[in-house]
Amino acid sequence: MTAPAAPEELSLLRLYVMRAVYFLIAFGEGSQVVPALFVHEPTARGVIPALLSGLCLLCVLGLRYPKAMLPLLLFEMAWKTIWFFAFGLPQYLSGEVPPTFAEDFKAITVGVVIMPLVVPWGYVWRHYVKAAGDRWR
């Protein structure tokens, strides 16, 4: 007789939802931002394309390790939420917007809505808030 298996921390459905989002970031967002690494103004500063491409590349690992790569999803949620409240929403309400606004607002607001549904909050609470920190001595 084998010992009963430990209860799984995340449902299979949750793992698939997370994987779908890693896939969307890696390949959907990736197909938009990675070309800018190769074709751009010779004097472009390049910080935004580099940041987004780095995220897309690492999200490939999230397909195999959706739980272990969770910090990437938290980061994705964090920066989009920050943008929405610090830039997007105030600009939308004031009616004075930068030229890139329409495109940014659409792409980022989708993330602000979807990410809180994707992140496994119980797991985050147990492992990133309540769990003891790594040892100090």
Partner 1 sequence: MSAAAPSFWRRGSEEVSLARLHLMRATALLGVWGLFATMQALFVHDPLDRGVHKALIGGLWLMAVLAFRYPLKMVPILLFEMTWKLVWLLAFGLPQYWSGAGSPRLGEDLWSIGVFPFVCAIVIPWGYVWRHYLRAPGERWR
- Which residues, 25 to 44, sit near partner 1 by CB under 8 A? 37-38, 40, 42-44
For helices 101-118 and 70-83, angle between their N-to-C axes, nearest 10 degrees = 140
Among 17, 69, 119, 120, binds partner 1 (CB under 8 A): 69
Cβ density class 96-126: b for 16+ within 10 Å, e for less: eeeeeeeebbeebbebbebbeebbbeeeeee
95 binds partner 1 (CB under 8 A): no
In the complex, least distance from residue 117 CB atom to partner 1, rounded to whole angstroms: 18
- CA atoms of 59 and 8, how far apart (whole Å): 23
In this complex, which beta carbon is closest to partner 1, that of residue 28 or of residue 102? 102
Question: CA of 104: how far to CAs of 19, 100, 128, in Å?
Answer: 24, 6, 30
Applying CB under 8 A, the site for partner 1 has a residue count of 61
Q: Which two tokens stand for residue 30?
A: 């990736």
100 binds partner 1 (CB under 8 A): yes
> Which residues contribute to the site for partner 1 (CB under 8 A)?
8, 12, 15, 37-38, 40, 42-51, 53-55, 57-58, 61, 63-72, 74-76, 78-80, 82-83, 86-88, 90-91, 94, 96-98, 100-101, 104, 108, 127-128, 131, 133-137
